[in-house]
Amino acid sequence: MILLTQTLIQIVQAGGGVVIDLNKQMYLPQTLIQVAQAAANSGATVTIKNPNFLLPQTMIQIAQAGRGKVIFEI
């Protein structure tokens, strides 16, 4: 399923956990940071699968924004 960026953020803000497979749909790093921030605020868990295109520094930024609510499936 393809979700618009704002819809994805709203789902996570509402407390819904999501699995984002970057092989199926690409999101900008800034979007992933926003999703991670929403997870940190709501308590939802976000799993990011196949983060192959993300730079290590970007992954660190996403993890910091998520405050323990983001899982990278490598």
Please state the domain count of the chain: 1
Mean pLDDT (the chain, rounded): 96
Domain span at 54: 5-73
- Residue 68, CA distances (Å) to 1, 4, 22, 24, 25 in order: 26, 24, 20, 24, 23
pLDDT band at 16 (very low <50, low <70, confident <90, very high): very high
Question: What pLDDT shows up at residue 2?
Answer: 78
SS3 28: coil
H or E element in which residue 72 lies: strand 70-73
CATH value at residue 22: 3.40.50
Nearest CA-CA partner of 35 in 6, 73, 55:
6
pLDDT band at 1 (very low <50, low <70, confident <90, very high): confident
Confidence check: pLDDT of 15 > 90: yes
